Chain A
Amino acid sequence: MSTNTQVFEGGFANPVMGAQQIFRALMDAMANPGRVFDVPELVAAPAPLTPVMAAIAATLFDHDATVWCDKSISASKEAIGWLKFHTGLELVSDPAAAQFALVKDVAAMPSFEAFAKGTSEYPDRSTTVILQLDGFEGENVLTLRGPGIKDTQDFAPSQLPKMFIDQWTGNRAAFPRGIDLIFAGREALAALPRTTRVAKKEA
């Protein structure tokens, strides 16, 4: 372990209130797919983790959580050290064995098929994938429909996984199995649960 003290700094100043605030935003985001919720920067973690990404990790992970990190995160000793110190998570090398996945490099991420989709008996035993974004003003606008959305919801994440609409349609087809996505922007977050239908926005 590096003696770099960066690893030990920057956790929630008030762990209970901080985690509750982020958890509330995550619940609202899951209940309202594609809607963007503002969150303050409550933690400071080593690069490449952004404050929102790290705050979500500090909120959701504990010693029992199995987490897969993409290359650009796992290559940072400081980032991994920070996650271990502040959450106690267990790192796994197989995304299919992970309850959560942290993805910094969205374009290069594994296909959705690589993650755990859960079983028909336990669809909850699936991977929740957390994607780190620049923001929600991307060029490509998606139209979302489904539970939690009154008519339609526009959603324009700055980055998207490759072949996103096809991949997501495949994910939808496996319902009730499937992965859920959380998007960690800058001072904001959003989510796409497996129930949401996605299409390219008609011009």
Chain B
Amino acid sequence: MTRDFQEMSATADAGRKAAMALLAQATADEMTRFWSVWTDKPEVETLRGPETGLVMVRGRIGGSGAPFNLGEATVTRATVRLGSGAVGHAYALGRQGEKVRLAAVFDALWQDDAKRDVVEKTVLAPIAQRLDEELRTKRAETAATKVDFFTMVRGED
């Protein structure tokens, strides 16, 4: 592989990784809604799943030392193939099979250069916006509980 191609594929990977991260954090309602308004629905064949299993979540000793096994979490995954031949994958925490199947469909659609913009605008952007909003609210609520210390008396004299 040439260097340019490596870089290109690394960027493509980063884009798809970000897209899949948003799809994983979509709600079941969001996925159903975005799919119901998707025009020109492709033929979808399920190659695997949706199936629920476990991942062992790892932490690190002291926060950044050697890894250790903290405990498990439920995960659901699916792999689909569209009529176009594009294969999409999805993994998400929880046990929502239909949400994950649709996430895999959108992952496959995202890989199609002609569809990517529409997926970004009508599916990923609203999810990202909701997540941003939730994070902003959480930060603001937490910041309101920040302790401002006042020095009342100093004991020097």
Contacts and interface: CB of A to CB of B under 8 A. Distances in A.
Direct contact of A and B (CB under 8 A): yes
A9 interface: yes
A125 B109 CA distance: 45
A11 B77 CA distance: 15
A8 interface: yes
B48 A8 contact: yes
Contacts, number: 17
Interface residues of B, number: 7
Interface in B33-91: 47-48, 51, 79, 81, 85, 87
A85 B91 CA distance: 13
A154 to B, nearest CB: 41
Main secondary structure of the interface of A (DSSP, over half): helix
A8 B87 CA distance: 8
Contacts of B79: 8, 85
Chain A interface: which size bin?
under 10
Interface in A1-36: 3, 5, 8-9, 11, 15
Contacts of A5: 81, 85, 87
A86 B51 CA distance: 12
A14 to B, nearest CB: 12
Contact of B81 (A8, A11, A85): A8
A8 to B, nearest CB: 5
Contacts of B81: 5, 8-9
Contacts of A85: 48, 79
Nearest to A15: B51
A8 B89 CA distance: 10
B85 A11 contact: no
Closest 9 CB pairs of A and B: A8-B47, A5-B87, A8-B87, A8-B79, A11-B48, A9-B47, A5-B81, A5-B85, A8-B48
17 contacts: A3-B87, A5-B81, A5-B85, A5-B87, A8-B47, A8-B48, A8-B79, A8-B81, A8-B87, A9-B47, A9-B81, A11-B47, A11-B48, A15-B51, A85-B48, A85-B79, A86-B48
